[in-house]
Amino acid sequence: MKILIADSMHPSLFGMLEAQKWDYDYHPEYKREDIRLALPAYDGLMIRSKTFLDREMLGNAANLRFIARAGAGLDLIDLAVAKELNIEVFHAGTGNRDAVAEHALGMLLALFNNILRADRQVRNGIWDREGNRGVELMGKTVGLIGYGNNGSATARRLSGFGCKVLAYDKYRDNYGDAFATESSIGEIQREADVLSLHIPLTDITRYLVNEEFIDGFAKPFYLLNLSRGEVVKLKAITEALESGKIKGACLDVLENEKIGKLTPEQQEVFDYLRASDRVVLTPHIGGWTHESYVRINEVLVEQIRNWL
The model's pLDDT over 195-230, given as tens digits with 9 standing for 90+, comes to: 999 999 999 999 999 999 999 999 999 999 999 999
Closest residue by Cα to residue 100 from 44, 152, 176:
152
Please tell me the predicted confidence (pLDDT) of residue 76: 86
Instruction: Evaluate whether 180 touches 144 at the Cβ level (below 8 Å).
Output: yes
Instruction: Evaluate whether 94 touches 65 at the Cβ level (below 8 Å).
Output: no
Closest residue by Cα to residue 250 from 282, 219, 221:
282
Mean pLDDT of the 178-191 span = 98
Does 36 qualify as catalytic in the annotation?
no
Please tell me the predicted confidence (pLDDT) of residue 281: 98
pTM for the full model?
0.91
Q: Which residue among the candidates 27, 32, 117, 284 is catalytic per the annotation? A: 284
The model's pLDDT over 97-132, given as tens digits with 9 standing for 90+, comes to: 999 999 999 999 999 999 999 999 999 999 999 999
**What is the C-alpha separation between 72 and 196, in angstroms, rounded?**
17
Residue 93 has pLDDT above 90, yes or no: no
Q: pLDDT class for 54, splitting at 50, 70, 90?
A: very high
**What is the C-alpha separation between 31 and 97, in angstroms, rounded?**
29
Give the sheet arrangement for strand 181-182, strand by strand.
181-182, 164-168, 141-145, 194-197, 221-225, 246-251, 279-281
Non-local (6+) Cβ contacts of 129 within 8 A are none
Instruction: Name 221's bridge partners.
Output: 246
Mean pLDDT of the 40-48 span = 96
The model's pLDDT over 1-20, given as tens digits with 9 standing for 90+, comes to: 999 999 999 999 999 999 99
**What is the C-alpha separation between 115 and 104, in angstroms, rounded?**
15
155-159 — which CB contacts under 8 Å span 24+ positions? 155/179, 155/180, 156/101, 157/101, 157/102, 157/104, 157/105, 158/105
SS3 23: strand
Mean residue pLDDT of the chain comes to 96
Strand bridging mode 44-47 / 66-69: parallel
The model's pLDDT over 250-284, given as tens digits with 9 standing for 90+, comes to: 999 999 999 999 999 999 999 999 999 999 999 99
Instruction: Evaluate whether 176 touches 182 at the Cβ level (below 8 Å).
Output: yes
One-letter identity of residue 104: A
One-letter identity of residue 146: G
Q: Which residue among the candidates 97, 103, 228, 295 is catalytic per the annotation? A: 228
Residue 73 has pLDDT above 90, yes or no: no
Give the sheet arrangement for strand 66-69, strand by strand.
23-26, 2-5, 44-47, 66-69, 88-91
Q: Which residue among the candidates 257, 265, 268, 291 is catalytic per the annotation? A: 257
Q: What are the counts of helices (DSSP H) followed by strands (DSSP E) for the chain?
A: 12, 12
Does 228 qualify as catalytic in the annotation?
yes
**What is the C-alpha separation between 178 and 29, in angstroms, rounded?**
45
Does 103 qualify as catalytic in the annotation?
no
Instruction: Evaluate whether 72 touches 93 at the Cβ level (below 8 Å).
Output: yes
Instruction: Name 89's bridge partners.
Output: 67
Instruction: Name 141's bridge partners.
Output: 164
**What is the C-alpha separation between 9 and 51, in angstroms, rounded?**
15
Mean pLDDT of the 275-302 span = 95
Task: Using CA atoms of 30, 78, 72, 180 in order, give the dihedral in degrees to the nearest 10.
Answer: 170
